[in-house]
Structure 1
Amino acid sequence: MSKDYDITYVHHITFWSIYFIFNTLRWSHVHSDLLYSLKTNLIGFPIHIALSYFNVYYLMPKYVYHKKYVSYALLVLGSLLIMLLVKFNLTYYFVSTNVMPEATEVVNTLTLNYAITTMLGELYVVSFVTAIKITADWLRETNKLHDLEKRQLTTELKFLRSQVSPHFFFNTLNNIYSLTLEKSDKAPEVVLKLSELMRYLLYASNKPKQDLKKEIDCIQNYIDLERIRFNDSLVVNMNLSGNLENKKISPMLLITFIENCFKHGASQSIGKMYIDVNIRIEGDVLLFKVSNTIPEKRKKKKPSSKNGGIGLSNVKKRLELAYAKNDYDLQIYERDNVFHVELKIKV
C-alpha cells in the first residue's frame, strides 16, 4: 500500500487473483480434480467478491457505523441466504449435480449440512476481506492523526520560538534614538547588532535545528545591546569552551534564559547586577549555565512555587516538543540570592 494506506484497483485485482489461484489449487488437491475446482471457483469467486464489497462498502457504513446492529445482522443473513440459492443452482446446472463432492454421500438437494457449510465458508471470506479493509482504514486514520499532530507541534514550536519580549526591541530602539541624538559613534554598531539579531530571530524558525555557533552569536549580540542600556550598573561574564563545529540546537532556545536574566533580574534592580553565562561543549553534549543576582525587592517576596515566568514555561514546553526526554536535563533553582538555570542537552 501507499504511505497513505489507500487501497487501489491494483490491490483489489492482486488480492483476488492470488486468492483465486490459491483456492483453486487447494480444492483441486482435495477433490483430485483441477477442472472441477476451477469451475466451482469461477462460480464462487464472483459471489465472494459481490458479498464482500456489498458488506464493506454498503452494509457496514450504513448500519454498523450508525450502530444499527440488528438491521445489519438481518441483512447479512439475508445476503448469505440469497448467495446460497444462487451458488447451489449455478453449481447444480453448470458444474455437477453433486454439489458437495467432499461429503460422504451424494448431495443433489439443498440440505441443511450443505447450507451451513456453504454459508460459513462465505462468511469466512467476507470476514477476511472486512478485516483487511478495517485494518487499512485504521492505519490511514492513524497516519492522518500523526500528520495532524506533527503540524500542530510544528505550529506550536514556531509560535513559542517567536516569544522574545517586544520590550527588548522597544528599549533597544530607544537606545539607538538616544545615541543618534548624541551623535554617538556607537549608533551604527548598535543598529548592525540589532539587524543581525532580528535577522536570526526572523529566519531561525524556518529550521527545526540551527547551528549552535549562530545561537551563541545571537546571545552575544543580545548581551551587547543590553549592556548599552544598563551601562556600568550591569556586569556580564560570558565563558565559552569546547568545539562548536557541527553542533545543532533548537533555535532561540538558549536566548530565552538570557532574556529572563535581564527581564527579571537587571531590569528590576537598583544596585549593581551580575549575570554569569557559562557554555561548555563536551562531546555531543552542551552544558549551559546562567546565573543572575536576585533584585532586592524580589528577595523580600516569598519564593514562588513556580520556576520563572512565561518565558521559562515556554522553553520547557519547547524542550518537551523538540527533544526526547533522555536528551536533555533542565534544572532551575535559587540559592544564596542567586537565580540559576542549568541545562544539559544533546547537540
Structure 2
Amino acid sequence: MKLKWLKNTSYSIPTKYHILFWFSYFTFNVIRWGSYFDDYWYSLKSNFVEFPLHILLVYFNIYFLIPKYILKKKYYTYIIVLILVLFIAYFLRTELNYLLVTKNIWPEAETTQQAFTFNHIIAVILGEIYVIALATAIKLTVDWVYERKRVQDLKKIQLQTELNFLRSQIQPHFFFNTLNNLYALTLEKSTIAPSVVLKLSEIMQYVLYDAKGDTISLFTAINYIQNYLDLERLRYGNNIQASTDIIGNIDEIEVPPILFLPFIENCFKHGAKNNDNIEVAISFENIENKWLIFKVENTYKKLDKLNEANTKHGIGLQNVKRRLELLFPNNFDLKITVLDQKYCVFLKIPIQ
C-alpha cells in the first residue's frame, strides 16, 4: 500500500523513465570515477553503495519535503529537515563504504583523510545536494511543462465550450425567427406555407448534421445562405432583390459554421415591412488566399423606438462578435455602418 505522503499530485512520470534516468546516471558515474581512479571495480562497488541513498534522498525530497514544506511556505523547517536528513545520509554512506568497499573513505583527496571530519562531511553533503538538485530540477521542469500544457488544454476546452454554446444559441435563434414567419403565413392561410416548411426542413438538416464540425466549406455556407434567401423570398415574394457575388477561388476555403447567417437575417430585420422592397447585395472575396472579405449591403429603414430596442437586444450580432473574438483574437476586422439608407457590413477574417 502506497504511503499517503508519497502521493504526488503533479504529473506522474512513467516508471520506465525513472529507471532510464537512474541507470544512465549510474552508468555515467561508474565510468567517470572508474576512469578517474583507473579502477572500475572500485567505482562499481562504491556506486552500488551510494546510489540507493541518492535515490531515497531524491524521492524523499520531491514527494515529501517539497509538498509538505516548500509548497506550504515553511522554508526554514524545510532547510532544517533537509540538513538533518543529509547528515543521516552522510553517516550511512560513510559507514557502508567503510564496511563494504574500502577503508580509504575519501580516495580522491590529495592526502589521507579521516571520516567525520569537517572537510569530509562538507564534501559528501555537497555531493548529495548536487544529486538532489539535479533530479529535483528535472522533475520540476517536467511538472512546469505539464502544467503549462494542462492550462493551455484547459483554455482550449473552455474556448470550445463557449464556442459550442454560442453556436447552439444561433440555431434556436434562427429557427425561432423562421417559425414566427411561418406562423404569420399560416394565419394568412398562405399557399406558400408548405413550401416554407419544406425549405425549413432542408436548413434544419444542415444545422443538425452538416454544421457539427469546427469548420465547413465556404461553398456550403453560401448554399445555406441561398436557402435562407429562398425562405425569405417565399415570405416576401417579388419584393426581394438579392444578389451574391464570389470573387476569387473559394474551393478550398473553410469557415466556421453559421458565421454569416446572422448578418443576412439582419438585412430583413432592418430592411422593410412586408409591402416594401428589400435589396440585398452579398459578396465574398478571396484576397491572395490569406484573407476572406465578406460584405453585405441592404436597404435600411429606421425602426420605431420600440422595435429598435428589441433589435439591439437580439442575440444574433452579439453572438457573432463574441465568436469572432474567440476564433480570431485580434485578427479580424468587422465594421457595421449605415450610409445613404444602406445598412453595410464589412467582415475580414483570415482564411483557414
Aligned counterpart in structure 1 of residue 186 of structure 2, from 177, 184, 201: 177
Question: Which residue type is aligned with residue 179 of structure 2?
Answer: F
The verdict on how the C-alpha distance between 1:198 and 1:175 changes in structure 2, with shifts beyond 3 A counting, is farther
Residue 321, structure 1, aligned to residue 321, structure 2: no
Residue 79, structure 1, aligned to residue 85, structure 2: yes
User: Secondary structure of 1:162's match?
Assistant: helix
Q: Name the residue aligned to 1:266.
A: 271
Cα pair 2:217 2:254 within 8 Å, conserved: yes
Question: Which residue type is aligned with residue 153 of structure 2?
Answer: D
User: Alpha carbon RMSD of aligned pairs, Å?
Assistant: 2.8
Name stretches of at least 5 consecutive residues in structure 2 with no aligned partner: 1-9
Q: Name the residue aligned to 2:76.
A: 70
Inter-partner Cα distance in structure 2 for 1:99 and 1:268: 100
Q: Name the residue aligned to 1:280.
A: 285
Inter-partner Cα distance in structure 2 for 1:237 and 1:35: 88
Q: Name the residue aligned to 2:337.
A: 333
Question: Which residue type is aligned with residue 40 of structure 1?
Answer: S
Cα pair 2:272 2:300 within 8 Å, conserved: no
Residue 224, structure 1, aligned to residue 230, structure 2: yes
Question: Which residue type is aligned with residue 117 of structure 1?
Answer: A
The verdict on how the C-alpha distance between 1:337 and 1:220 changes in structure 2, with shifts beyond 3 A counting, is same
User: Secondary structure of 1:296's match?
Assistant: coil
Worse overlay, 199-208 or 106-115: 199-208
Inter-partner Cα distance in structure 2 for 1:13 and 1:268: 77
Inter-partner Cα distance in structure 2 for 1:94 and 1:248: 71
Question: Which residue type is aligned with residue 340 of structure 1?
Answer: C
Offset, 1:175: 4.6
Question: Which residue type is aligned with residue 178 of structure 2?
Answer: F
Cα pair 1:234 1:274 within 8 Å, conserved: yes
Offset, 1:267: 5.6
Cα pair 2:185 2:235 within 8 Å, conserved: no
Offset, 1:271: 4.7
Q: Name the residue aligned to 2:168.
A: 162
1:41-60 map, 5 Å: 41-60=47-66
Inter-partner Cα distance in structure 2 for 1:309 and 1:191: 24
Offset, 1:315: 1.6
The verdict on how the C-alpha distance between 1:267 and 1:293 changes in structure 2, with shifts beyond 3 A counting, is closer
Question: Which residue type is aligned with residue 150 of structure 2?
Answer: K
Residue 25, structure 1, aligned to residue 24, structure 2: no
Cα pair 2:114 2:120 within 8 Å, conserved: no
TM-score by length of 2: 0.85
Inter-partner Cα distance in structure 2 for 1:109 and 1:159: 70
The verdict on how the C-alpha distance between 1:205 and 1:147 changes in structure 2, with shifts beyond 3 A counting, is farther
1:1-347 map, 5 Å: 6-164=12-170, 165=173, 166-175=175-184, 177-178=186-187, 181-182=189-190, 184=191, 186-263=192-269, 265-266=270-271, 271-281=276-286, 284=289, 285-297=291-303, 310-323=315-328, 325-326=330-331, 328-345=332-349, 346-347=351-352
Cα pair 1:6 1:140 within 8 Å, conserved: no
Question: Which residue type is aligned with residue 283 of structure 2?
Answer: N
Question: Which residue type is aligned with residue 58 of structure 1?
Answer: F
Inter-partner Cα distance in structure 2 for 1:223 and 1:119: 80
Offset, 1:20: 0.2
Inter-partner Cα distance in structure 1 for 2:235 and 2:275: 14
Aligned length: 335
Inter-partner Cα distance in structure 1 for 2:248 and 2:343: 25
TM-score by length of 1: 0.87
Worse overlay, 16-25 or 335-344: 335-344
Cα pair 2:268 2:278 within 8 Å, conserved: no
User: Secondary structure of 1:96's match?
Assistant: coil
Question: Which residue type is aligned with residue 348 of structure 2?
Answer: K
